[in-house]
């Protein structure tokens, strides 16, 4: 919820959807205008089996022409401003 609030606050010109379907997957957050999916990874994503699935999932989403940015829950909790800067930098790179 904290991340969702910061997305809406920092990027009011870009509509982000939560739990948005992309092909056979569901992105945590997605902006159609930016062609950007944002994934938040908890500690379960550290398991080898889940890492492999994440790589496959991300590759499938990127084949749709969508960029995927990933952040850990720890990054969101402790360094949310740097996560917002990464998104800002991505948006700036599109211009």
Structure tokens at 13: 């010109």
Here the CATH number for the domain that contains residue 66 is: 3.40.960.10
Q: How many domains does the chain have?
A: 1
**What's the rounded mean pLDDT across residues 43-61?**
77
pLDDT in tens, 53-66: 888 889 999 999 99
| Alpha carbon distances (Å) from 55 to 5, 17, 45, 52, 85 | 27, 22, 11, 5, 24
User: Which of 51, 52, 55 has the alpha carbon at shortest distance from 43?
Assistant: 51
Please tell me whether the overall predicted TM-score, pTM, comes out greater than 0.85 for this model: yes
Please indicate whether residue 53 or residue 29 has the higher confidence score (pLDDT).
29
Structure tokens at 20: 């948005």
- Domain carrying residue 73: 2-94
């Amino acid at each position: 919820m904290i991340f969702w609030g910061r997305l809406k606050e920092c990027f009011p010109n870009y509509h982000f959807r939560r739990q948005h379907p992309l092909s056979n997957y569901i992105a945590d957050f997605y902006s159609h205008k930016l062609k950007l999916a944002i994934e938040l990874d908890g500690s379960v994503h550290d398991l080898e089996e889940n890492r492999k699935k994440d790589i496959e999932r991300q590759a499938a989403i990127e084949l749709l022409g969508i960029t995927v940015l990933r952040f850990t829950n720890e990054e969101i909790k402790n360094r949310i401003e740097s996560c917002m800067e990464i998104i800002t930098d991505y948006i700036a790179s599109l211009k």
